[in-house]
Structure 1
Amino acid sequence: MLILNLLWYFVIFSFCGWVINGIRTLFEEKRFYNKGFLASPFCPSYGVGAVICYLTLNHFQDNKFILFFGSSVILSLVVVLIGFFTEKALGFKPWNFSDMKLNIGSYITLPYSLLLGIMGTILVGVLIPILNSVIELIPFLVSLIVVLSICLLILIDYVFAIITTLRLQHRIKKLNGVSSLLGSDVPQEKIDELESNYNMLFTENILRRRLVSAFPELKNTAYVKQIAAKLDEIKTDNMKEYTQVYENKNDEPFAFGFCFTKLFYLFLFGSMLGTLFETIWALFAEGHFEIRVGMVYGPFIPVYGGGACFLTAVLYKLYKLSDTLIFVISAVVGAGFEYFCSWFQETLFGTVSWDYSNTAFNLDGRTNLMYALIWGFLGLVWVRYLYPWASKLIEKIPKRAGSIITTFLIIFMLFNAFMSVYATYRWTQRDDGIPASNSFERYLDKHFDDDKMNFLFPHMQDVNETGITSQGLISSERPYETSSSDYSLTTQPTTQPTE
């Protein structure tokens, strides 16, 4: 039973997380003690991460690269979200990476993210299959009673820990309010009494003593502002790219503000970045070098460029929103854009370039939860950091030279799109046995023959061969399945479909 197994995963890996934290504390502080939020020996954040990681990646157990990459992204997002919401709800951070390099808002750091990828790979690929065989040996009723009892214990422990934390913060706020009313002429005895009452807050009962021992930040919540100061400084500077205005139009730089010219360059930038990403993905995920482009000339994958423009258009006016809202909106918009591109490709060309039908939480095989989370993360990074940087870079182009270059690039990309569509059309005709009817088609047959098109678009598949319809996946003897996609503007069936 899947739900029963998931509960066991949650319990077991919550306990393992508590042990790992204890061992780390033993090495760092030379003593073993409970540094978790709960009084019981469980760290639910580890259990939650394990369950989400398994549900999302269990279909990729044989592909270690996807397991590693997916685990790094998913578990990092879990760590960041838990840290963020704990800070907002309870006023302190359960973990703090501010003193380490390459950290993101002090919630996570790159080396730790890579470590999570290794842990997730081992968890999904090795540990959970072993656990499944062990869980099956336990009688169903006994297994259900035991795991539900432990989960109930964790829930009760969580409630007590939250209540203790909220009451403690209320008392701290009250005492801080009293101290702010004291004047400069207050006697020393009053100051000593206030300090004594403040210290007593953290020693009145065993729950408070344990929480403060595990989370010293509870004694001083002002640290949050200090930690976030540098990141807020960067965000504030980036905000100028959204709000800057010029009284004189002649003073405006090239492609200033939100305009067609800037979107065009963002399209080019995103298209080339997508080609680089897809090529690296093929190299590591499938173990071989493979060109993945969406147009016949140049390293362009238009879906990535379109995604960059679409995210910019949707989120440009929403930069003032919180990081959480931008993440959620980006996840929904990105997943919706990916779904639309898949549907549009199938409707217009009768082909598909990616299929997630065999992954968890997918929508008609066109997108899934994991990629929605990745879109959310990319959207947040794009709005806060990448777009302001790219926008400033574009605006540094001299106006006169920029106008000439832009005109040339627009003409080239239109010609590129025309040649890509027509080359694909001829590819379809050749597949149906239709000979060339004019000199232009003969030129295409010579310079964009089947071998060339298969090289440029290695994962193009006819919808009839893949089993994909506008209503989703249908039965097929040879379903097309890939963890990545070539995201091409034009698509065409191959005579030898990839299994």
Structure 2
Amino acid sequence: MQVYFFILYFFTYGFLGWCTEVAFATTKQHKFVNRGFLNGPICPIYGVGVGVVVQFLAPVKENLVLLYVTSTILVTLIEWITGFLMDKIFHHKWWDYSSQPLNIGGYVCLVFSLVWGVACVFIVKVIHPLIHKGLSLLPAVAGIVLIAVLGAVLISDIYVTASGILKLNRRLEMMERIAVELRELSEKVGENIHENVMETMEVTEEIREKLEIATEDQKSRITDLKEKYRELAEHGTKVSNRLLKAFPKMESRKHKDILKELQMKILKK
């Protein structure tokens, strides 16, 4: 039954965490923003974090100091592991506490860890008894069916989101390559113009025409590349565009400047 209830806690607190994130973002930006990593109304990090706290710290819930300290340590560890793994797997840093004092790699910081500790104590002492009582009223068969359905939806959501991130990474890589080629072509065009000016009196008409043709070809290529770059910048997938809105502080490990450009375009819409 412990596993059964833990899974129910995961979905319950994952949903409540999503509601909290959305409410905070809506208050701050004055519009609805799906702040979850996934498309559905769930934040797995909240489900795991709070689920672990209420399930495994029940023996110390009567000792407020011990409950606070252990909760703070647990949720900080979970947040750090989550941020680190998501960074390494997807090559993006999804949130950044680098500007906060006493942070560890930008994944966690002391101020937010202390706040999470207070929140966990409040949840364990006030919120969770109500949640547990409500879930206990759910028939076991209905609970198992609910877990199966929500689990299938969650797995599908994870697949869709991961695919969207991989497409975003490919999009960033293509834009980076185009940007590099544009710089190289622009430099070549500049060099050709410079050579034409300096050597106008020294080259034959035939050579001059070849230089002009080469320059025009390069200019045409630049125009084509700029158009392709614009299309990539303006036409992303729904998943990638949603993630760019949901995580405005997200940083790409490989394409930092390109990602910032995309974020600015998306946030202006």
Distance 1:102 1:96, change over 3 A: same
Hey, what does 2:245 align to over in structure 1? 213
Hey, what does 2:229 align to over in structure 1? 195
- What amino acid maps onto 2:71 in structure 1? S
8 Å contact kept, 1:92–1:217: no
Matched, 1:169 2:203: no
Listed one character per residue, the Cα deviations across residues 30-51 of structure 1 (whole Å, up to 9, x for unaligned) are: 2221021111111011001112
Pick which of 93-102 and 104-113 moved more: 93-102
Provide the C-alpha distance between the structure 2 equivalents of 1:218 and 1:136, rounded to a whole number of angstroms.
39
Structure 2 runs not aligned, ≥5 long: 190-217, 258-269
- What amino acid maps onto 1:116 in structure 2? W
Q: Give me the TM-score of the superposition, normalised by structure 2.
A: 0.75
Provide the C-alpha distance between the structure 2 equivalents of 1:223 and 1:25, rounded to a whole number of angstroms.
26
Provide the C-alpha distance between the structure 2 equivalents of 1:21 and 1:93, rounded to a whole number of angstroms.
18
Hey, what does 2:73 align to over in structure 1? 73
Provide the C-alpha distance between the structure 2 equivalents of 1:25 and 1:148, rounded to a whole number of angstroms.
31
- What amino acid maps onto 1:128 in structure 2? H
Structure number with greater CO (CA < 8 Å, separation at least 6) is 2
Hey, what does 1:102 align to over in structure 2? 102
State the SS of the aligned residue for 1:32: coil
- What amino acid maps onto 2:160 in structure 1? F
Hey, what does 2:160 align to over in structure 1? 160
Q: After superposition, where does 1:434-449 map in structure 2 within 5 Å?
A: none
Hey, what does 1:57 align to over in structure 2? 57
How well do the aligned residues superpose, as a CA RMSD in angstroms? 2.2
What is the CA distance between 1:126 and its match in structure 2? 3.0
Listed one character per residue, the Cα deviations across residues 206-234 of structure 1 (whole Å, up to 9, x for unaligned) are: 22221222134568545879xxxxxxxxx
Hey, what does 2:265 align to over in structure 1? none
Pick which of 59-68 and 122-131 moved more: 122-131
8 Å contact kept, 1:217–1:223: no
What is the CA distance between 1:72 and its match in structure 2? 0.6
- Identity across the alignment (%): 24
Q: Which has the larger helix fraction?
A: 2
8 Å contact kept, 1:11–1:151: no
Q: After superposition, where does 1:8-157 map in structure 2 within 5 Å?
A: 8-157=8-157
Provide the C-alpha distance between the structure 2 equivalents of 1:143 and 1:16, rounded to a whole number of angstroms.
18
Listed one character per residue, the Cα deviations across residues 450-478 of structure 1 (whole Å, up to 9, x for unaligned) are: xxxxxxxxxxxxxxxxxxxxxxxxxxxxx
8 Å contact kept, 1:37–1:211: yes
8 Å contact kept, 2:14–2:43: yes
- What amino acid maps onto 2:44 in structure 1? P
Hey, what does 2:215 align to over in structure 1? none
Provide the C-alpha distance between the structure 2 equivalents of 1:16 and 1:103, rounded to a whole number of angstroms.
26
Hey, what does 1:299 align to over in structure 2? none
Listed one character per residue, the Cα deviations across residues 400-454 of structure 1 (whole Å, up to 9, x for unaligned) are: xxxxxxxxxxxxxxxxxxxxxxxxxxxxxxxxxxxxxxxxxxxxxxxxxxxxxxx
Q: Give me the TM-score of the superposition, normalised by structure 1.
A: 0.42
Listed one character per residue, the Cα deviations across residues 310-329 of structure 1 (whole Å, up to 9, x for unaligned) are: xxxxxxxxxxxxxxxxxxxx
Distance 1:121 1:224, change over 3 A: farther
Listed one character per residue, the Cα deviations across residues 87-126 of structure 1 (whole Å, up to 9, x for unaligned) are: 1111112222123233221111211000110111122333
8 Å contact kept, 1:60–1:67: yes
- The number of aligned residues is 223
Provide the C-alpha distance between the structure 2 equivalents of 1:196 and 1:207, rounded to a whole number of angstroms.
19
Provide the C-alpha distance between the structure 2 equivalents of 1:219 and 1:112, rounded to a whole number of angstroms.
20
8 Å contact kept, 1:53–1:74: yes
Q: Point out the structure with max Rg over C-alpha.
A: 1
Provide the C-alpha distance between the structure 1 equivalents of 2:144 and 2:105, rounded to a whole number of angstroms.
40
